[in-house]
Chains A and B, each alone.
Chain A
Amino acid sequence: MHKFKFIFVLLYCVFSPLILRAQDAVNTAEQLIADIFEQYTAESEDAIDYETFYDELINYVQNPVNINKTSREELEHFPFLSDIQIENILSYVYRFGSLKTIYELQLIDGLDMTDIRRMLPFVSVGEGSDEKQKIYFQDLVKYGKNELFLRLDKGLETKEGYKLPLETENEESTQAAYLGNALYHSLKYRFHYKDRVLFGLTAEKDAGEQFWGTSNKGYDFYSAHVQLNRFGKFETIVLGDFRANFGQGLVLRPEFGMGKSSYVLNVTPRNSGLKKYSSTDEYNFFRGAGATVRLGEFNLSAFYSNKMIDGDTLNGSFSGIYKSGLHRTASEFNKKHTVNQQVIGGNVTFTHLNYQLGFTAVHTILNDILQPEKSVYNYFYFEGKEQTTAGLNYRLRWHKLNFFGETAMTGNGSLATLNGFSFSPLSKVSIVALHRYFSPEYETFYATAFSESSRINNESGFYLGAEVRPFARWKFSAYADSYKSFWPKFGVDAPDVGMDYLFQADFSLKRNINMFWRFRFEEKPENKSGSENTMPEVVPTRRTSLRYQLLYYFGDFSFKNLIEGNLFDKGDAVWTYGLMAYQDISYRFSKIPLKLDFRYQFFDATDYENRFYSYEKDVLYAFSIPMYYGLGSRYYLNVQYEINKHFSIWFKIAQTTYADDRESLSSGNEEISGNKKTDVRFLLKWEF
């Protein structure tokens, strides 16, 4: 033990200047959160809810996790920590007792300086206060923090939908016209007292939605929540809008789970339990009440939700749930809140030292019949008014192996199961393996789990990921995923087989110079375009991409360079290419609280399949990953200014200019005449 203490004092002396400097201006918590999120989404084309992700982590900046008192559930909130690293942290505290300083983290197996730098804003060490101490009203008033956010977005070019007349004899044109103006605005109020009492209100109007008129009187979407943590026997109480996440997500996980990303080891979803909902996604949440009670080693959760959802109803049935939350045209507005959905669910989790068992059940009732227009690809989609889904999940640690999984079944007897294990035979090597099987008939409303496609059905696959740190400053990550479907899918008219590889090499030359190379290859089938055969003709498409990113800091400047190229073969051995490069420059003024981010980006993508997604810095709570193809350039300026202790503003202007002789951008109501698209965003934050 003395030896350990000596080592950490020595390490403290050597590394503490680095860690202190790591807290400099460029590495703020907000920047870290955005960087982590970017890593997740870099290979994803799905729209992922950044607001929830940001909210979760920023809360830990204000209320850092005490490593000496923490639990697996709490550490799971940090997506940059793998399951193995979490186990190692807990094991270290268990074996050697409380950490004396934060620098002792360096002695924990599997945590390198990059991980520790990432953790620093979110964790603390110490004895900690009584987490269940009584809360008095005057404490709430005196120490509670209030925040108000006002956000405005506008596209400067007029889109086709705003030009259409609202009242004409042409019914089609009337139905298609945007009812409101092009301004997006939202208003958010947040209150929190430590992490014990959380309260919030959200109101939002999307661009094109009417604010005041015949359709709407005020904002198009409202949301409110209250969350109370650790009140007597109650671990959590939620009222209003909330989310419920349990197990591996086969039964219940309305928010995004872990998927394939360059964090190759993080394949299990995190953040289980009931929690407030404060985002502006208008579908993926529950509205009602729920509570979690702790009884010894058992956690019991129950909730009830009753809310209106969107759908195109006709004679007591509707063909699908409309999830976009956009109500800009009369046609879209007619779908708003037409179906009542009630959800009742619960979970029981038993946690012991080395294992955990959980059971989740959810029952959904619709007041109209969900009746999809039948086609081959959606033959097995859910049809009816009521559905019950239940699942059993587990986690088990045996020697160095961590087993995890969940098996779930819907009322029609269809099965989904996901099982895997991770282990770290040496501190510098970590491996994870995961197998999943989702039958074609398995279909439930709020499932999100590890899979190739966004729907949790009709898939079987095996994933193998490994992370190796063979030398100082180097990290190699790789995964391989092989999967198949048993039934046609949308855009693929036959059962198919696909595979996906990723390899990434990260190198930290110095504390302020980091870079990585990322190679990805994916082969998946698609319908052959232009095929006139009666029989389905599915061909394998191949996409290869290579990305290099360099990040370096110099004084108050930070720079990021990225270059990416891809090749795509649509099954006819004709390769199309895409090339993209950008330069980011950020500057934080040392004497005034002002920060500027600027980017110039060039792209040349032959085809839609060569398209690029790249993360952009944005105003607070916003996260942009715009998509583009063709030939052109994009540039933006992002400004953040703290007016005083109470007020901060963000402003962003971004423009994309196409140089491939196109005369209009986008299509339908979103069509813009010309070759330029300009967006402006503004956000005001008031803390009191």
Chain B
Amino acid sequence: MRKSIAFFFCLFFVCTLSSQITNIIPTSTSIAQTSVADSHNWSAFNNPAMLGNVQQSEVGIQLDNRYLIKELNTKSLQFAYTTNFVNAGLSFTHFGYSLYHEMIYGLSFARNFSNIFSMGVQFNYYSSYFISSNSYRGALLPQIGLSVKLNPNFSIGFQSFNPFQTNIQTEYTIKRISSIFSLGTEYFFSPDFLWRTQMDKEISSNYRFATAFDYQMIEQMKIKLGIYGSDYLVPCLGVGFKNGRMGADLNCELHPLLGLNTMVALKYEFGK
């Protein structure tokens, strides 16, 4: 019990630390960006180990908008293909507009071992357009992910994006690419209600702490509530719909200073 209390205190002290992660990685469908231990969702460029939990092949598209500014849109596409041995995924994301844009292409493989342990690896090719040289420059970035179910209700997840801190160097500048390490937990109070926490560290930023609840209110709908602390405390609210093979998610984040972030995602599951 003392450990539990100590854990809670640690989480809240971490909350007080400022952090900010700036990257083009699309937000996950998990509310408050608590995807690292989300065993029910694979979100492109988040924890690749969750691809191992995907039961049926699926395709999804996603649009993220920041602060209602169209130049800050991120558009993503993801495809998962399941086999008995390993699941494979393809993903693509595009951020920006004609004069400035960044893209990532991803190829991932993951496997779930006995429903206890999942592991995934993703190969990302990052590409950015530099107007000064009117050219694209790119770099290959690995991404790894793990997920462990400690008991039927509790699991932890870990992932690292660009762990070797690869950057792009041009004639005039060095384009730094985010290097992120994430650790999170997922706890099922009941099959309908779960709680997730996550801590992120971008290598040159401070910590980010997030917590979220998912509640499957009815079979077709769930509501999602979360909050994360970085430089600012950002509340998040979302809703998820599922009807047969189709799924849709709408998440909103209210940045106290900059305004509203929204994410819309659509997913289609193929039959077996």
User: CA of A497 to CA of B213 in the docked complex: distance in angstroms?
Assistant: 25
Q: Answer whether residue B190 sits at the interface, using C-beta atoms and an 8 A cutoff.
A: yes
Across-interface contacts of A481 in B (CB, < 8 A): 233
Are the CB atoms of A464 and B218 closer together than 8 Å? no
Task: With both chains docked as a complex, state the minimum distance between the C-beta of B1 and any C-beta of chain A, in angstroms.
Answer: 8
Are the CB atoms of B232 and A497 closer together than 8 Å? yes
Across-interface contacts of B215 in A (CB, < 8 A): 423, 425
Chain B residue nearest in CB terms to A505: B5
Number of interface residues of B (CB under 8 A): 27
* Given A466-B213, A499-B229; A521-B15 close (CB under 8 Å): yes
| CB-contacts of A11-62 with B (<8 A) | none
8 Å CB contact of A464 from B8, B9, B223, B225 = B225
| CB-contacts of A381-431 with B (<8 A) | 399-401, 423, 425-426, 428-429, 431
Across-interface contacts of B5 in A (CB, < 8 A): 505, 517
User: CA of A517 to CA of B190 in the docked complex: distance in angstroms?
Assistant: 27
Query: CB-defined interface of B232-256 with A at 8 Å, one 1/0 digit per residue?
Result: 1111010000000000000000101
User: CA of A400 to CA of B234 in the docked complex: distance in angstroms?
Assistant: 25
User: CA of A253 to CA of B185 in the docked complex: distance in angstroms?
Assistant: 43
Are the CB atoms of B16 and A521 closer together than 8 Å? yes
Number of interface residues of A (CB under 8 A): 35
Q: Answer whether residue B69 sits at the interface, using C-beta atoms and an 8 A cutoff.
A: no
Task: With both chains docked as a complex, state the minimum distance between the C-beta of A97 and any C-beta of chain B, in angstroms.
Answer: 28
Q: Answer whether residue A75 sits at the interface, using C-beta atoms and an 8 A cutoff.
A: no
User: CA of A399 to CA of B189 in the docked complex: distance in angstroms?
Assistant: 19
Are the CB atoms of B227 and A426 closer together than 8 Å? no
Q: Answer whether residue A482 sits at the interface, using C-beta atoms and an 8 A cutoff.
A: yes
Query: CB-defined interface of A446-472 with B at 8 Å, one 1/0 digit per residue?
Result: 000000000000001110101000010
Are the CB atoms of B8 and A476 closer together than 8 Å? yes
Are the CB atoms of A480 and B193 closer together than 8 Å? no
Are the CB atoms of A499 and B233 closer together than 8 Å? yes
8 Å CB contact of A544 from B1, B16, B189, B217 = B16
Chain B residue nearest in CB terms to A428: B189
Q: Answer whether residue B150 sits at the interface, using C-beta atoms and an 8 A cutoff.
A: no
Task: With both chains docked as a complex, state the minimum distance between the C-beta of A529 and any C-beta of chain B, in angstroms.
Answer: 22
Task: With both chains docked as a complex, state the minimum distance between the C-beta of B58 and any C-beta of chain A, in angstroms.
Answer: 27
Q: Answer whether residue B270 sits at the interface, using C-beta atoms and an 8 A cutoff.
A: no
Are the CB atoms of A433 and B12 closer together than 8 Å? no
Are the CB atoms of A429 and B189 closer together than 8 Å? yes
Are the CB atoms of B218 and A399 closer together than 8 Å? yes
8 Å CB contact of B256 from A471, A476, A497, A542 = A497
Are the CB atoms of A462 and B217 closer together than 8 Å? no
Chain A residue nearest in CB terms to B193: A425
8 Å CB contact of A462 from B9, B193, B254 = B254
Task: With both chains docked as a complex, state the minimum distance between the C-beta of A176 and any C-beta of chain B, in angstroms.
Answer: 44
Across-interface contacts of A544 in B (CB, < 8 A): 16
Query: CB-defined interface of B31-47 with A at 8 Å, one 1/0 digit per residue?
Result: 00000000000000000
Are the CB atoms of A400 and B217 closer together than 8 Å? yes
Q: Answer whether residue A483 sits at the interface, using C-beta atoms and an 8 A cutoff.
A: yes
Across-interface contacts of A464 in B (CB, < 8 A): 225, 227, 235
List 7 additional A-B contacts (Cβ < 8 Å) besides A428-B189, A503-B12, A519-B9. Answer: A401-B217, A423-B215, A464-B225, A471-B1, A476-B8, A483-B256, A484-B257
Chain A: residues with CB nearer than 8 A to chain B? 399-401, 423, 425-426, 428-429, 431, 433, 435, 460-462, 464, 466, 471, 474, 476, 478, 480-484, 497, 499, 501, 503, 505, 517, 519, 521, 542, 544
Chain B: residues with CB nearer than 8 A to chain A? 1, 5, 8-9, 12, 15-16, 189-190, 192-193, 213, 215, 217-218, 223, 225, 227, 229, 232-235, 237, 254, 256-257
